[in-house]
Each structure stands twice: as C-alpha cells, then as structure tokens.
Amino acid sequence: MQVRLATKIVTFWRSRVREVCSPLGWKGSNMDEITPKEFKQQWDEGRRPVLIDVRQPDEWEVCNLEEFGAKLIPLGEIQQRFQEIPKDGDIVMQCRSGGRSGQAQGFLKAQGYTKVQNLVGGMLRWSDEVDSSKAKY
C-alpha cells in the first residue's frame, strides 16, 4: 500500500514538473539516468564525470559528494552559470531526490549538451545504496 501511494505521488510530481518545465525546454529523460550504485561502481572503475549538485548551499552543508568532485550550482543559478559546465565531457546532475537535477538535465540538453545523466533518487538514494553516513534530511 505505501509503495503504491509513493509511486502515485512520484508519478504525479513528475508530470507536474514536465508540465511546468516543458515550455522552457526543460525536459528530463528517463533514458539518461544513473543510479547512485551505478555511479559509484563506474567511479571505482575509473569513470570521472563532472558531477553538478543543484541543491541550495544549506543543503550542501548537510551532506554532499565533494569527494567525487561535485560542484555546487543551485538550480536557480543554472541558467546564468551553465557555461561553467564543459560540453564535451560526461555530466551527472544531482540533488536531494532527483527532481531538480532532472530539470537541470533537461535545461542542459536544451542548450546542446548531449552526455548528461540524472542521479536517480539523489542524495536520499545515495544514502540508502552507497553511503549511509550521508545524512538524510
């Protein structure tokens, strides 16, 4: 019962995000996602994508992935600062749960970035799958 309710809530919010962001060209894509477990496995195998955290500075202070080279560019600043992100490399966007990073991913794709993935489940899932010492909030 709880899983079904959670699935309905996630589905509802994903549709709302698409509805609001689509006119701006901010469309996320389920084809371009990576789980925290997959990210960590690929990191251990030598893959070094540019990791962009789109949360707020106070969220960054609670927990972050700085040890994986994460760079903080809050979602509200992405339109002004996206040029700081190299176009020619692999990029992984992340946030607390995956919603804001999905919006940022869609925006980057609309700007011509082609190798952009969204960290599914964000820091919450990272804490569950990879490193439980990362605080949930």
Mean pLDDT computed over every residue of the chain: 86
85: amino acid identity, one letter = I
Global pTM exceeds 0.85: no
Confidence at 65, pLDDT banded by 50, 70, 90? very high
> Is the pLDDT reported for residue 22 higher than 50?
no
The answer to whether 10 and 99 are in contact (CB under 8 A) is: no
> Is the pLDDT reported for residue 104 higher than 70?
yes
Q: What is the pLDDT of residue 8?
A: 53
Handedness of CA 102, 15, 134, 31 (dihedral sign): negative
> Is 63 noted as a catalytic residue in this protein?
no
Q: Which of 51, 52, 54, 95 is catalytic?
A: 95
Distance between CA atoms of 79 and 104, rounded to whole angstroms?
9
For the ranges 14-18, 24-28, 96-100, 113-117, the lowest mean pLDDT is seen at: 24-28
Domain map (residue ranges) of the chain: 2-129
> Is the pLDDT reported for residue 33 higher than 90?
yes
For the segment 6-28, the average pLDDT, to the nearest whole number, is 48
Distance between CA atoms of 19 and 2, rounded to whole angstroms?
26
For the ranges 7-16, 33-42, 88-97, the lowest mean pLDDT is seen at: 7-16
> Is the pLDDT reported for residue 117 higher than 70?
yes
Any idea which architecture 2-129 has in CATH?
A: 3-Layer(aba) Sandwich (3.40)
